[in-house]
Amino acid sequence: MINYSIIFHYWFLFSFSFGGFTGLILANCIIDTILHDPYFVIGHSHHVLSLGAVYTISSSIYNYFIMLSSYYYYNDFIGRLHFFISFISSNVIFFSMHSQGILGFPRRIFDYGISYFKFN
């Protein structure tokens, strides 16, 4: 029996560490002037804040459900499906924001140039 609460805790630590590493990249003054307006900042903030909240809420649900309901029910298939869907979808979304930002995809623009249509 897998404890999915611990798996979500570990993935939160990895995601938060990756977001913190991208924050160190943004702390460099020269690189920050280049990466401040593109989507790299959006990917960084979503990795730190959004995934931190989502994974801690998910691990809390798995952890406290047993304590509050005193009903021990884990379906391994549903737990694995929940973890892998959230793992794959969050990485596809937020890693692509980092790569778009490195390639110069701007944020806060109403109409993008023709060269940026393939990114979205």
In the chain, where the domains are located: 4-116
State how far the Cα of 48 lies from the Cα of 52, in Å rounded to an integer.
Answer: 6
Q: Which pLDDT score, from 0 to 100, does residue 1 have?
A: 59
Asked if pLDDT for residue 64 goes beyond 70, the answer is yes
| Mean pLDDT to the nearest integer, 1-11 | 80
pTM: 0.75
Burial degree of 54 (CB within 10 A; 0-12, 13-18, 19+): middle
Residue 85 has what pLDDT?
Answer: 93
Is the per-residue pLDDT at 35 higher than 90? Answer: no
Quick one: average pLDDT of 32-41? 82
